[in-house]
Amino acid sequence: MIQSATVIGAGSWGTALAALLSWRGLDVQFWGRDAELMAQLRDTRRSSRYLPDLELPKQVRVTSDLAALQPADMLVFVVPSKAMLGTAKLVAQCGAASRAKVLVSCSKGIELETGRRMTELIGSAIPGVPLAVLTGPNHAEEVARQMATAAVVACADAEMAKAVQACFTLPFFRSYTTDDIVGAEWAGAMKNPYAIAAGIAQGLKMGDNTLAALVTRALAEMVRLGVAEGGKVETFYGLSGVGDLMGTCYSEHSRNHRVGMMLGQGRPLDEIISSTRMVAEGVLNTASLHRAAQARGVRMPLLDEINAVLHQGKSPIEGMRALFSRDPRPEAD
């Protein structure tokens, strides 16, 4: 059903997915905004900036020119959440989505101003095409090395979900399906701030007890807000929820975790952000999720403190003290 794909976005995850879809046998186009980076990829088949050890298959057509893209069956969006709407509009204008059977979001975030999910942004720019999400504990570095990985394809259309699932099924990459696109997207966005918190705890030289407590309480908060937004409880106990949360909170590959670790070590956030080309979605996501929680009246003390550290000038150690000085309460409350 799906024979061709265009991957939009040339960061580490976009590069890994372009390779993965080519390994699966699809006809793959790969677009990135940075002309210099895409020229390097085209000439050397490697991205020295993001995934230097991955050799991109020769069959993948690489370009920085949207007008050069041919229509494809599946468009895979892998751009930072803040750039999603603008990029989707450009793709619509150039005609690259003119015969698309499905649009797949692989980006994790919630728009700050409106609280919209990534598929809602894509769908507003390219209406009338089925929408899907690929999410889960998927580090690009490990997929590039073909290490065993599992993911979730969320789509309201069961047959389309199976078609997308087939594209993301390889000997080392196993994907499952769900119809809970809302829960899958909220889960994917919410794990990012907690990965920053896990990094902060490590930077402060906290121990295993701290991290285990943090991840457990983070999941409780994710469930509360995700269900309030319309997601299903069981989604948050699957790969897109607890799986992704664990993968980012414990991993050396997580950009959000690295940002948190440097914060815990005392480095200013502006300095951390300016020192890396990679986008840590959790910094912006924290503000978006904090706003959503307040609008819904959902109690999220851990997220409140992460937001205060990132956006209100609170020190990490002050945030930790605030959490532990709260009034005692039942665990299930």
pLDDT in the model for residue 281: 81
11 is in an annotated binding site: yes
pLDDT in the model for residue 332: 81
296 is in an annotated binding site: no
**For 231-242, how does the pLDDT look when each residue is reduced to its tens digit (9 = 90+)?**
999 999 999 999
The correct CATH number of 4-179 out of 3.40.50.300, 3.30.565.10, 3.40.50.720, 1.10.580.10 is 3.40.50.720
Nearest to 242 by CA among 218, 226, 224: 218
9 is in an annotated binding site: yes
The correct CATH number of 183-324 out of 1.10.150.650, 1.10.1040.10, 3.90.1150.10, 1.10.275.10 is 1.10.1040.10
pLDDT in the model for residue 76: 98
Query: Given the structure tokens 């020769």, which residue do they identify?
Result: 58
Average pLDDT of the chain, as a whole number: 95
281 is in an annotated binding site: yes
User: What's the rounded mean pLDDT across residues 230-257?
Assistant: 94
pTM of the model: 0.94
Could you write out the three-class secondary structure of the chain? CCCEEEEECCCHHHHHHHHHHHHCCCEEEEECCCHHHHHHHHHHCCECCCECCCCCCCCCEEECCHHHCCCCCEEEECCCHHHHHHHHHHHHHHCCCCCCCEEEECCCCECCCCCCEHHHHHHHHCCCCCEEEEECCCCHHHHHCCCCEEEEEEECCHHHHHHHHHHCCECCEEEEEECCHHHHHHHHHHHHHHHHHHHHHHHCCCCHHHHHHHHHHHHHHHHHHHHHCCCCHHHHHCHHHHHHHHHHHCCCCCHHHHHHHHHHCCCCHHHHHHCCCCCCHHHHHHHHHHHHHHHHCCCCHHHHHHHHHHHCCCCHHHHHHHHHCCCCCCCCC
Nearest to 141 by CA among 43, 278, 282: 278
The confidence band for 279, taking pLDDT boundaries of 50, 70 and 90, is low
User: Which residue is catalytic, options 58, 89, 191, 205?
Assistant: 191
142 is in an annotated binding site: no
User: What's the rounded mean pLDDT across residues 38-49?
Assistant: 95
**Catalytic site includes residue 89:** no
Q: How many CB atoms lie within 10 A of CB 101?
A: 17
Q: Does the structure show a pLDDT above 80 at 278?
A: no
The confidence band for 275, taking pLDDT boundaries of 50, 70 and 90, is confident
221 is in an annotated binding site: no
33 is in an annotated binding site: yes
Is the Cα dihedral 213, 218, 224, 230 positive or negative? negative
283 is in an annotated binding site: no
256 is in an annotated binding site: yes
pLDDT in the model for residue 277: 64
Pairing relationship of beta strands 27-31 and 4-8 according to DSSP bridges: parallel
**For 131-187, how does the pLDDT look when each residue is reduced to its tens digit (9 = 90+)?**
999 999 999 999 999 999 999 999 999 999 999 999 999 999 999 999 999 999 999
pLDDT in the model for residue 104: 98
Q: Are 134 and 164 in contact (CB under 8 A)?
A: yes
More confident residue, 15 or 329: 15
231 is in an annotated binding site: no
**For 80-92, how does the pLDDT look when each residue is reduced to its tens digit (9 = 90+)?**
999 999 999 999 9
Task: Provide the residue ranges of all domains of the chain, joining segments of one domain with +.
Answer: 4-179, 183-324
**For 284-300, how does the pLDDT look when each residue is reduced to its tens digit (9 = 90+)?**
889 999 999 999 999 99
User: What's the rounded mean pLDDT across residues 47-70?
Assistant: 96
186 is in an annotated binding site: no
Nearest to 14 by CA among 68, 51, 61, 48: 51
Q: Are 7 and 73 in contact (CB under 8 A)?
A: no
User: What's the rounded mean pLDDT across residues 46-55?
Assistant: 94
